[in-house]
Structure 1
Amino acid sequence: MGSLSDAEKATLAEIAHRLKRKALEELAAVAKPDTLLAWYRKLIANKFDGSKFRKSSGRPRVDEETERLVVRMAKENPGWGYDRIVGAMAVFSPDGHHIVAASADHTARVFPFVTLPEVVKLLAK
Protein backbone atom coordinates (compact mmCIF):
# COMPACT_ATOMS: atom_id res chain seq x y z
CA MET A 1 0.00 0.00 0.00
CA GLY A 2 1.40 3.43 -1.02
CA SER A 3 1.31 6.62 0.98
CA LEU A 4 -2.04 8.14 1.79
CA SER A 5 -3.43 11.25 0.14
CA ASP A 6 -4.31 14.32 2.22
CA ALA A 7 -8.02 13.54 1.80
CA GLU A 8 -7.50 9.97 3.05
CA LYS A 9 -5.46 11.24 5.99
CA ALA A 10 -8.21 13.74 6.84
CA THR A 11 -10.87 11.01 6.75
CA LEU A 12 -8.80 8.69 8.95
CA ALA A 13 -8.04 11.57 11.32
CA GLU A 14 -11.76 12.34 11.73
CA ILE A 15 -12.51 8.68 12.48
CA ALA A 16 -9.54 8.44 14.85
CA HIS A 17 -10.71 11.48 16.77
CA ARG A 18 -14.17 9.96 17.24
CA LEU A 19 -12.80 6.58 18.37
CA LYS A 20 -10.48 8.02 21.03
CA ARG A 21 -7.07 6.64 21.93
CA LYS A 22 -8.11 3.40 23.74
CA ALA A 23 -10.13 2.02 20.82
CA LEU A 24 -7.49 3.23 18.36
CA GLU A 25 -4.75 1.23 20.05
CA GLU A 26 -6.77 -1.92 19.43
CA LEU A 27 -7.89 -1.09 15.87
CA ALA A 28 -5.19 1.03 14.23
CA ALA A 29 -3.49 -0.91 11.44
CA VAL A 30 -2.76 1.84 8.90
CA ALA A 31 -0.81 4.10 11.25
CA LYS A 32 0.01 4.49 14.92
CA PRO A 33 -2.68 6.15 17.07
CA ASP A 34 -0.32 9.08 17.74
CA THR A 35 0.11 9.60 14.01
CA LEU A 36 -3.64 9.51 13.36
CA LEU A 37 -4.31 11.98 16.16
CA ALA A 38 -1.48 14.23 14.92
CA TRP A 39 -3.17 14.28 11.51
CA TYR A 40 -6.38 15.36 13.24
CA ARG A 41 -4.62 18.18 15.12
CA LYS A 42 -3.09 19.37 11.85
CA LEU A 43 -6.48 19.21 10.14
CA ILE A 44 -8.07 21.36 12.85
CA ALA A 45 -5.14 23.80 12.90
CA ASN A 46 -5.45 24.30 9.13
CA LYS A 47 -9.19 24.80 9.44
CA PHE A 48 -8.78 27.70 11.86
CA ASP A 49 -5.57 29.35 10.62
CA GLY A 50 -7.48 32.18 8.89
CA SER A 51 -5.95 31.55 5.48
CA LYS A 52 -9.37 31.56 3.79
CA PHE A 53 -9.85 35.17 4.78
CA ARG A 54 -6.36 36.48 4.02
CA LYS A 55 -6.15 38.30 0.72
CA SER A 56 -2.73 39.87 0.94
CA SER A 57 -0.34 40.91 3.62
CA GLY A 58 0.18 44.45 4.77
CA ARG A 59 -1.46 47.76 4.08
CA PRO A 60 -2.76 48.38 0.55
CA ARG A 61 -0.45 50.46 -1.64
CA VAL A 62 -1.10 54.18 -1.96
CA ASP A 63 -2.18 55.02 -5.50
CA GLU A 64 0.21 57.01 -7.69
CA GLU A 65 -1.96 60.14 -7.75
CA THR A 66 -1.95 60.31 -3.96
CA GLU A 67 1.81 59.73 -3.86
CA ARG A 68 2.32 62.60 -6.31
CA LEU A 69 0.10 64.82 -4.17
CA VAL A 70 2.13 63.99 -1.04
CA VAL A 71 5.39 64.76 -2.85
CA ARG A 72 3.97 68.01 -4.23
CA MET A 73 2.76 69.11 -0.78
CA ALA A 74 6.17 68.24 0.70
CA LYS A 75 7.95 70.26 -2.02
CA GLU A 76 5.69 73.27 -1.57
CA ASN A 77 5.87 73.11 2.24
CA PRO A 78 9.38 71.97 3.22
CA GLY A 79 8.80 72.63 6.93
CA TRP A 80 5.84 70.28 7.14
CA GLY A 81 6.14 66.81 8.61
CA TYR A 82 4.21 63.68 7.75
CA ASP A 83 1.35 64.31 10.18
CA ARG A 84 0.81 67.83 8.84
CA ILE A 85 0.69 66.56 5.24
CA VAL A 86 -1.84 63.90 6.23
CA GLY A 87 -3.97 66.51 8.02
CA ALA A 88 -3.82 68.88 5.05
CA MET A 89 -4.86 66.12 2.69
CA ALA A 90 -7.84 65.33 4.87
CA VAL A 91 -8.93 68.99 4.96
CA PHE A 92 -8.07 70.28 1.49
CA SER A 93 -8.58 67.26 -0.71
CA PRO A 94 -12.07 67.25 -2.25
CA ASP A 95 -11.14 64.14 -4.27
CA GLY A 96 -11.27 62.04 -1.12
CA HIS A 97 -7.54 61.32 -1.01
CA HIS A 98 -6.93 59.42 2.18
CA ILE A 99 -3.51 58.56 3.50
CA VAL A 100 -2.08 57.72 6.89
CA ALA A 101 1.15 59.04 8.37
CA ALA A 102 2.64 55.55 8.14
CA SER A 103 2.29 55.69 4.37
CA ALA A 104 3.58 59.24 4.18
CA ASP A 105 6.68 58.36 6.15
CA HIS A 106 7.38 55.12 4.28
CA THR A 107 10.31 56.86 2.64
CA ALA A 108 11.74 57.61 6.09
CA ARG A 109 12.24 53.89 6.62
CA VAL A 110 13.95 53.59 3.26
CA PHE A 111 16.12 56.66 3.92
CA PRO A 112 16.27 56.74 7.76
CA PHE A 113 18.75 59.63 8.06
CA VAL A 114 17.16 61.86 5.44
CA THR A 115 14.46 64.45 6.17
CA LEU A 116 11.27 64.59 4.12
CA PRO A 117 12.37 67.60 2.02
CA GLU A 118 15.64 65.81 1.23
CA VAL A 119 13.73 62.68 0.20
CA VAL A 120 11.59 64.79 -2.11
CA LYS A 121 14.76 66.16 -3.72
CA LEU A 122 16.09 62.63 -4.17
CA LEU A 123 12.84 61.45 -5.73
CA ALA A 124 12.69 64.46 -8.07
CA LYS A 125 16.06 63.61 -9.65
Structure 2
Amino acid sequence: MGWADRAVLAALMRRLSDWLREHRLVTPGTVLRWHLVARKWTYPSRTGRPPVDDVVVALIGRMARENTAWGYHRIQGELLKLGHRAAASTVRRVLERLRVPPASGRDTAMSWR
Protein backbone atom coordinates (compact mmCIF):
# COMPACT_ATOMS: atom_id res chain seq x y z
CA MET A 1 0.00 0.00 0.00
CA GLY A 2 1.22 3.44 -0.86
CA TRP A 3 1.03 6.54 1.33
CA ALA A 4 -2.12 7.76 -0.44
CA ASP A 5 -3.81 4.37 0.12
CA ARG A 6 -3.03 4.52 3.81
CA ALA A 7 -4.38 8.05 4.11
CA VAL A 8 -7.62 7.07 2.35
CA LEU A 9 -8.00 4.05 4.65
CA ALA A 10 -7.53 6.24 7.73
CA ALA A 11 -10.05 8.78 6.41
CA LEU A 12 -12.59 6.05 5.71
CA MET A 13 -12.17 4.67 9.22
CA ARG A 14 -12.94 8.12 10.65
CA ARG A 15 -16.20 8.22 8.72
CA LEU A 16 -17.57 5.12 10.43
CA SER A 17 -20.74 5.46 12.47
CA ASP A 18 -20.51 6.06 16.23
CA TRP A 19 -21.58 2.50 17.04
CA LEU A 20 -18.90 0.99 14.77
CA ARG A 21 -16.32 3.45 16.04
CA GLU A 22 -17.00 2.39 19.64
CA HIS A 23 -16.64 -1.31 18.77
CA ARG A 24 -13.58 -1.19 16.58
CA LEU A 25 -10.39 -2.68 17.90
CA VAL A 26 -7.92 -0.06 16.63
CA THR A 27 -7.91 3.65 15.89
CA PRO A 28 -7.04 5.17 12.49
CA GLY A 29 -3.79 6.45 13.98
CA THR A 30 -2.87 2.89 14.99
CA VAL A 31 -3.47 1.64 11.45
CA LEU A 32 -1.21 4.39 10.09
CA ARG A 33 1.48 3.55 12.64
CA TRP A 34 1.30 -0.13 11.69
CA HIS A 35 1.90 0.72 8.07
CA LEU A 36 4.71 3.16 8.88
CA VAL A 37 6.43 0.61 11.12
CA ALA A 38 6.01 -2.08 8.46
CA ARG A 39 7.56 0.24 5.92
CA LYS A 40 10.44 1.09 8.25
CA TRP A 41 11.32 -2.48 9.26
CA THR A 42 11.05 -4.26 5.96
CA TYR A 43 14.38 -5.23 4.52
CA PRO A 44 15.18 -5.82 0.86
CA SER A 45 15.11 -9.47 -0.06
CA ARG A 46 18.58 -10.86 -0.43
CA THR A 47 18.72 -14.20 -2.13
CA GLY A 48 21.63 -16.58 -2.06
CA ARG A 49 25.09 -16.25 -0.67
CA PRO A 50 27.36 -13.27 -1.25
CA PRO A 51 29.70 -13.61 -4.23
CA VAL A 52 33.27 -14.84 -3.82
CA ASP A 53 35.81 -12.02 -3.72
CA ASP A 54 37.82 -11.50 -6.93
CA VAL A 55 41.10 -11.79 -5.01
CA VAL A 56 40.09 -15.24 -3.75
CA VAL A 57 38.98 -16.30 -7.25
CA ALA A 58 42.37 -15.28 -8.68
CA LEU A 59 44.16 -17.06 -5.84
CA ILE A 60 42.19 -20.28 -6.41
CA GLY A 61 42.97 -20.20 -10.13
CA ARG A 62 46.66 -19.57 -9.50
CA MET A 63 46.93 -22.38 -6.94
CA ALA A 64 45.19 -24.84 -9.26
CA ARG A 65 47.40 -23.98 -12.25
CA GLU A 66 50.69 -23.99 -10.34
CA ASN A 67 49.96 -27.14 -8.31
CA THR A 68 48.38 -29.63 -10.66
CA ALA A 69 48.14 -32.43 -8.10
CA TRP A 70 46.11 -30.37 -5.61
CA GLY A 71 42.42 -31.12 -5.33
CA TYR A 72 39.56 -29.03 -3.99
CA HIS A 73 40.20 -29.89 -0.35
CA ARG A 74 43.93 -29.16 -0.55
CA ILE A 75 43.26 -25.76 -2.15
CA GLN A 76 40.65 -25.08 0.53
CA GLY A 77 43.20 -25.88 3.26
CA GLU A 78 45.84 -23.65 1.69
CA LEU A 79 43.33 -20.80 1.43
CA LEU A 80 42.51 -21.26 5.11
CA LYS A 81 46.21 -21.00 5.98
CA LEU A 82 46.31 -17.70 4.08
CA GLY A 83 43.28 -16.41 6.01
CA HIS A 84 40.56 -16.90 3.36
CA ARG A 85 37.57 -19.06 4.29
CA ALA A 86 36.00 -20.92 1.40
CA ALA A 87 34.32 -24.31 1.23
CA ALA A 88 35.58 -27.08 -1.03
CA SER A 89 32.35 -26.81 -3.03
CA THR A 90 33.07 -23.11 -3.57
CA VAL A 91 36.56 -23.96 -4.81
CA ARG A 92 35.02 -26.53 -7.18
CA ARG A 93 32.50 -23.99 -8.54
CA VAL A 94 35.22 -21.36 -9.04
CA LEU A 95 37.44 -23.84 -10.90
CA GLU A 96 34.52 -24.87 -13.10
CA ARG A 97 33.84 -21.21 -13.86
CA LEU A 98 37.53 -20.69 -14.70
CA ARG A 99 37.40 -23.85 -16.86
CA VAL A 100 40.17 -25.53 -14.90
CA PRO A 101 39.73 -29.34 -14.94
CA PRO A 102 39.80 -31.42 -11.73
CA ALA A 103 43.14 -32.48 -10.25
CA SER A 104 43.07 -35.87 -11.95
CA GLY A 105 42.71 -34.17 -15.35
CA ARG A 106 45.38 -31.55 -14.64
CA ASP A 107 48.02 -33.92 -13.37
CA THR A 108 49.71 -35.08 -16.57
CA ALA A 109 53.32 -35.01 -15.33
CA MET A 110 52.87 -37.68 -12.69
CA SER A 111 51.68 -41.03 -13.90
CA TRP A 112 52.07 -44.63 -12.74
CA ARG A 113 52.90 -45.69 -16.29
Q: Give the structure-1-normalised TM-score.
A: 0.43
Q: Give the structure-2-normalised TM-score.
A: 0.46
CA radius of gyration, larger in? 2
Work out which structure has the larger RCO, using CA pairs closer than 8 Å and 6 or more positions apart in sequence: 2
